[in-house]
Amino acid sequence: MTDDLATRKAGLRQRMKSLRAALGPDERAAAAASFASHARRLLALRPPGIVSGYIPIRGEADPRPLMAALAAAGWRLALPRVEGAEISFRAHADGAALACGGFGLTEPQADAQRVAPDLLLVPLLAFDRRGNRLGYGRGYYDRALARLPGALAVGLAYGVQECADVPCGAHDTPLAAVATEREWIDCRR
């Protein structure tokens, strides 16, 4: 990554962290509830399989209502687990014991079954309408998506996280769609 690209990404990360942090608890809760309405779009795109969500940290958009709606429609749930420089995806059932992982993550136990998701709900700091996303900069999801070329990657975000142009490099993997509390954005066009 060039110094210019790294600098642009770092500046955008700081700006988006501040915007996201400014959202109040009521706005976050309303957004989380509205994400569940996107389940019908996902069901139209893919038959039920395995969906990997995440347990939100640091003000991330909360996918749990959407995960519950997908589970009710026959999808099996999974969560990411950090393992060194990679994330694996592990089967998850509501109420299953979770572990405290690095970076403040809540993740499945080490003995949870490994799975290959058909759909990934991806956290992010910023996105654009071409499907470019900005994460925390460690590349976990980019590497995971490269290993899962058939999986559909959908970002979950608050509308305030949209940018006209997210800086990206050759290793950055675009999303197929982004779901916000206001709309569904198909990035594959």
Domain range for 41 is 3-186
User: Which of helix, strand or coil describes residue 115?
Assistant: coil
For residue 56, the model assigns a pLDDT of 94
Which CATH number is 11's domain given? 3.40.50.10420
Q: Are strands 184-186 and 177-179 parallel, antiparallel or unpaired?
A: antiparallel
Contact partners, residue 136, CB within 8 Å, separation at least 6 = 13, 103, 125
Average pLDDT for 102-128: 90
Q: How far apart are CA 17 and CA 137, in angstroms?
A: 13
Tens digits of per-residue pLDDT, 67-105?
Answer: 999 999 999 999 999 998 899 999 998 888 887 877 667
Number of domain units in the chain: 1
- The sheet with strand 50-52 has its strands ordered as 86-92, 76-83, 50-52, 119-122, 152-156, 177-179, 184-186
The pTM is what? 0.92
For residue 1, the model assigns a pLDDT of 59
Confidence of residue 119 (pLDDT cuts 50, 70, 90): very high
Encoded tokens for 125: 């700091």
